[in-house]
Amino acid sequence: MASVNTNQTSDKTLMEPRRYQIELLNYVMQRNAIIYLPTGAGKTYIAIMALKRFSHQMQETIENGGKRAVFMCNTIELARQQAIELKRCTNLNVGFYIGERDVDNWSPRKWNDEIKINQVLVGTAQIFVDIISQNYIKITDLSVVIIDECHHARNNHPMHEFMRHYRMAADKSQLPRVIGLTGVLIKGNKLNKIREELENLEAIFHGKIVTVGSMEEYQNVMAFSTKPTEKLVTYTSQTHIFRLVGTIKNIIKECDVMVNQWDLGAIKVKQSKNLGSLRQPNKKVFITNLLNDFVYQMDEFGLYAAAIAIMSPIIEFELKKRAAETMVLRNLYRYVISICEKIRHMIIDELKEEITDPDDAYNTLDIILNYSTSKMRSLLLLTKELFSNKDPAEIHCLIFVERRYTAKCVYYVLQQYINLEPILTKSLRPQFMVGRNSVVPSIESLLYQKWNNTAIESFRNGDCNLLVCSNVLEEGIDVQACNYVFAYDPLKTFNSYVQTKGRARSSDALYAIFTDKSDEVSVVQKIKGYQEAHKNIQDFLIGRILDQDEPKEQDIAEQFKDLITPFRTQSGAYLLASNALPLLYRYCALLPTDAFGVATPWFNKQTTDDLIHVALQMPLQSSIKHTIMSKKYRTVKQAQISAAFEACKTLYEQGELNERLLPVTKTECVAKVSEELFSHWKKFNDNVTSKTAGKQQRRLYNHRYPDELYNAVPKIKELCYAYKICAYPQF
């Protein structure tokens, strides 16, 4: 069970809160609000103090009139961090809920036990939307809801849909307090609509954005938050073009042609997002994407990095080859692996031409620098300039990159360079950390989780002092006070700039932004625009902690316009428009299939008078045999949701979805008829819904088959008979 009851109060709970934290705490105890403070200014501490003030409502179970609290996060890593922090700083029972714990398949009894035992529920946003929709807990059973990184609550994001449930609650007097936390109020680059975006966010959360009371107080806040020195590191795009690079690109182009022509047999194709065309079979797309990613690494970082980067597709293709369903697919992976091995040997042979002794390894400082692009050299030389002969305890450096494979590639090049450079060997201890894009539990996702946990723990305790990471560390993840942060890839959005810069929490921190020399002017203008937007937000918000009007009902209603009116079951579960498509795919995934196919819904797009509607055809295994037509909408996505919503309602009416709007399992089907058809089994103490075999249970009855049925296959020129056996129950 993911809960801990901490009886002793930690040192952190004895921290003296700052004046602005007390002011903001008193404000949110009276009404909903979004707390906006710079990174490192103590937003989470305000949330913890609020939880403690609401804790008297959580002492009893919900059945006995008690309440529960929710701490909602946008990512798994952030949720894990906040759960640990709450266990450490409070004596409340804390439950931790993420998809990796298989919470989607928990029984009602399991959820009831978790909610009964744990007073604070911490997890990702979608899980809380699901348990509210499925009526495991009501929105009025909560005393306080804390939403971290709440600027994500736009459109159909789970945080937004949670607030839709808040708005739909019947008893408004029992609604929980909602506290949003963020250091970035604008998502994306909507810098010309700052006021409009902020007012929309306030309407979504039914409360005002609040920060410190005056500019003087804001300066005090900045003393506790991040204010690093910013530096622009430029590099030239003009670099030596090796003939081998062109040769490798031609080989990959020929490989792409061969892959596209490879006949994989009857593999189900996928529709594109707009339903207008068919995608390539995903097996081929996977190969093409990995090869394109390798070309990107080679162009960005050079041939030396390419010698390392080529190993990633080789390993990935080898894993896929071993799991291939058919011999044809296995042969395709063998072919692609042979191409990658050929490229790898060509690169290594090129690198070894620089060495007089052919037996020497190709890892030397000259080879690394000569066969790296100016972008890679700028990073290597900057690390040498900043960290030469420096005490490793004084270095806490984060390097942010955009792609997962880039993080690995940059890490291995840095590692080789540090090992070969004597003045860096004792100073730097690098590591890397990447996000996970797998939502299905697998060996790979578990290994990534274990690696990431080890990497971030090593960085926190000082075993490593330079961490190359993807955007998994941009938002909220609390690492020790970093004094060096490098934005190695181009900054694409305002919140990326604020979040990466916010990791530099040390008082003498350096924030370095890498850019091509030709893009220097545009990057400087972009950063000035970001800084101006940040100042405009401060000017708009400072002083708003004073009494002010709450968002108007008209503005709130504008943010929660229903595409389709939510459907409510008799038990109180809700089907929202945003949940219809995921629920339909979940139902189809549980339909019986063989090893050669999957059950998926099929949408056909039709256009009438510039409006779109789709025809939904369910798999043959489904109880829905007719075609479902959507209503007409302006976008394909809306039409798909409309058809999926109607399908889910039909499935519920036909008994394929239960009262919690979840697919009915085989066990539930058997249990439903067991009282009528198998009542006489009770005298044998036999439960017909339990498994009859397995390591934990023995089979109750031996299976025997007629000898005549063994090897009973049709033979050429031999008469065959077909028998019909009918069985009728005599009870």
* 502-548 per-position pLDDT tens digit: 777 777 889 999 999 999 999 999 999 888 887 777 777 765 555 56
Contact 471, 435 (CB under 8 A): yes
Indicate whether 56 and 164 sit together in one domain: yes
Which residue blocks in 235-364 are alpha helix, DSSP H? Answer: 243-261, 282-301, 303-309, 311-322, 327-352
Query: What does the alpha-carbon distance between residue 349 and residue 412 come to, in Å, rounded to a whole number?
Result: 19
Amino acid at 584: L
Q: Which long-range contacts (CB under 8 A, 24 or more apart) does 403-406 make?
A: 403/293, 403/296, 403/470, 403/489, 404/434, 404/435, 404/437, 404/470, 405/293, 405/297, 405/309, 405/312, 406/297, 406/300, 406/470, 406/489
Q: Which residue has 């690494």 as its token pair?
A: 297
Indicate whether 346 and 377 sit together in one domain: no
Asked if residue 454 has pLDDT above 50, the reply is: yes
Q: How many C-beta atoms surround the C-beta of residue 85 within 10 A?
A: 20
Least Cα distance to 508 among 534, 529, 488, 481 occurs for 481
Q: Which of 445-459, 536-550, 620-634 has the highest mean pLDDT?
A: 620-634
Contact 144, 49 (CB under 8 A): no
The token pair at 412 is 């291995």
Indicate whether 476 and 515 sit together in one domain: yes
Residue 631 or residue 494, greater confidence: 631
Contact 678, 688 (CB under 8 A): yes
Q: Which long-range contacts (CB under 8 A, 24 or more apart) does 101-108 make?
A: 101/2, 102/441, 103/127, 104/130, 104/586, 108/136, 108/660
Indicate whether 390 and 511 sit together in one domain: yes
Question: How many CA atoms are closer than 13 Å to the CA of 497, on its beta-carbon side?
Answer: 25
Q: Which of 138-142, 208-212, 246-250, 365-369 has the lowest mean pLDDT?
A: 208-212
Asked if residue 438 has pLDDT above 70, the reply is: no
Asked if residue 442 has pLDDT above 50, the reply is: no
Examine residue 491 and state whether it is found in any structural domain, yes or no: yes
Query: What does the alpha-carbon distance between residue 20 and residue 207 come to, in Å, rounded to a whole number?
Result: 19
> What is the per-residue pLDDT for 9?
40
Q: Which residue has 């030596």 as its token pair?
A: 240
Beta-carbon contacts of 364 under 8 Å, excluding residues fewer than 6 positions away, are 354, 355, 420
CA 445-450-455 angle, to 5 degrees, is 120
Residue 601 or residue 681, greater confidence: 601
* Final residue of a structural domain among 352, 387, 414: 352
Q: Which of 431-445, 519-533, 597-611 has the lowest mean pLDDT?
A: 431-445
> What is the per-residue pLDDT for 198?
87
> What is the per-residue pLDDT for 284?
86
Residue percentage of the chain with pLDDT more than 90 = 47
- For position 589, which CATH number holds? 3.30.160.20
The pTM score is 0.78
Asked if residue 465 has pLDDT above 80, the reply is: yes
Least Cα distance to 71 among 186, 176, 170, 161 occurs for 176
Examine residue 289 and state whether it is found in any structural domain, yes or no: yes
Q: What is the three-class DSSP state of 560?
A: coil
Indicate whether 431 and 389 sit together in one domain: yes
* pLDDT tens track for 563-593: 899 999 998 999 999 999 999 999 998 888 8
Least Cα distance to 180 among 295, 28, 370 occurs for 28
Q: What is the three-class DSSP state of 556?
A: helix
Q: Give just the sign of the alpha carbon dihedral 14, 16, 20, 22.
A: positive
Q: Give the pLDDT band of residue 661 (cuts 50, 70, 90).
A: very high
Contact 530, 497 (CB under 8 A): yes
Tell how strand 33-36 and strand 177-182 pair up.
Answer: parallel
Examine residue 431 and state whether it is found in any structural domain, yes or no: yes
Q: What is the three-class DSSP state of 481?
A: coil
The beta strand positions in 478-630, using DSSP E, are: 484-487, 510-516, 567-568, 574-575, 602-608, 611-617, 628-629
Residue 163 domain boundaries: 11-213
* pLDDT tens track for 268-319: 556 666 666 555 557 888 899 999 999 999 999 999 999 999 999 999 999 8
> What is the per-residue pLDDT for 277?
58
513 has which bridge partners? 232, 487
Indicate whether 38 and 134 sit together in one domain: yes
Asked if residue 684 has pLDDT above 70, the reply is: no
Asked if residue 215 has pLDDT above 90, the reply is: no
The token pair at 97 is 């809920």
CA 37-42-46 angle, to 5 degrees, is 95
Q: Which of 371-380, 476-485, 502-511, 660-669 has the lowest mean pLDDT?
A: 476-485
Contact 77, 477 (CB under 8 A): yes
Indicate whether 342 and 377 sit together in one domain: no
Contact 446, 409 (CB under 8 A): no
Q: How many C-beta atoms surround the C-beta of residue 561 within 10 A?
A: 6
Indicate whether 479 and 594 sit together in one domain: no
Q: What DSSP assignment string belongs to 343-358? A: HHHHHHHHHHTT-SST
Indicate whether 41 and 124 sit together in one domain: yes
Query: What does the alpha-carbon distance between residue 578 and residue 642 come to, in Å, rounded to a whole number?
Result: 10
Least Cα distance to 182 among 499, 541, 497, 507 occurs for 499
Residue 323 or residue 690, greater confidence: 323
Q: How many C-beta atoms surround the C-beta of residue 403 within 10 A?
A: 17
- DSSP 3-state helix, strand, coil percentages of the chain (rounded to 5)? 50, 10, 40
Residue 532 or residue 374, greater confidence: 374
Q: Which long-range contacts (CB under 8 A, 24 or more apart) does 532-537 make?
A: 532/191, 533/186, 533/191, 533/194, 533/494, 534/498, 536/194, 537/36, 537/185, 537/186, 537/194, 537/198
Examine residue 649 and state whether it is found in any structural domain, yes or no: yes
Radius of gyration of the chain (CA): 30
Query: What does the alpha-carbon distance between residue 536 and residue 148 come to, in Å, rounded to a whole number?
Result: 23
The beta strand positions in 455-576, using DSSP E, are: 466-469, 484-487, 510-516, 567-568, 574-575
Asked if residue 185 has pLDDT above 90, the reply is: no
Q: Give the pLDDT band of residue 368 (cuts 50, 70, 90).
A: very high
* pLDDT tens track for 379-416: 999 999 999 999 988 898 999 998 888 999 999 999 99
- For position 127, which CATH number holds? 3.40.50.300
| Mean of per-residue pLDDT scores for the chain | 84
The token pair at 7 is 């009886």
Residue 287 or residue 215, greater confidence: 287
Indicate whether 157 and 287 sit together in one domain: no
Q: Which residue has 């578990």 as its token pair?
A: 446
Examine residue 470 and state whether it is found in any structural domain, yes or no: yes
Amino acid at 282: N
Q: CA of 512: how far to CAs of 228, 288, 314, 382, 488, in Å?
A: 10, 33, 33, 10, 8
Q: Give the pLDDT band of residue 3 (cuts 50, 70, 90).
A: very low
Q: How many C-beta atoms surround the C-beta of residue 210 within 10 A?
A: 23
Examine residue 661 and state whether it is found in any structural domain, yes or no: no
Q: Give buried/exposed letters for 226-237 (b at 16+ CB in 10 A, else e).
A: bebeeeebebee
Indicate whether 80 and 153 sit together in one domain: yes
Indicate whether 404 and 444 sit together in one domain: yes
Examine residue 359 and state whether it is found in any structural domain, yes or no: no
> What is the per-residue pLDDT for 539?
74
Contact 499, 477 (CB under 8 A): no
The token pair at 403 is 């792609």
Examine residue 150 and state whether it is found in any structural domain, yes or no: yes
> Rounded to the nearest 5°, which phi and psi values hold at 178?
-115, 125
Beta-carbon contacts of 59 under 8 Å, excluding residues fewer than 6 positions away, are 66, 119
The token pair at 317 is 């293709």
Which run of H or E residues covers position 68? strand 68-73
How many domains does the chain fold into? 4
397 has which bridge partners? 466, 484
The token pair at 560 is 């929660």
Q: Which residue has 């909507």 as its token pair?
A: 190
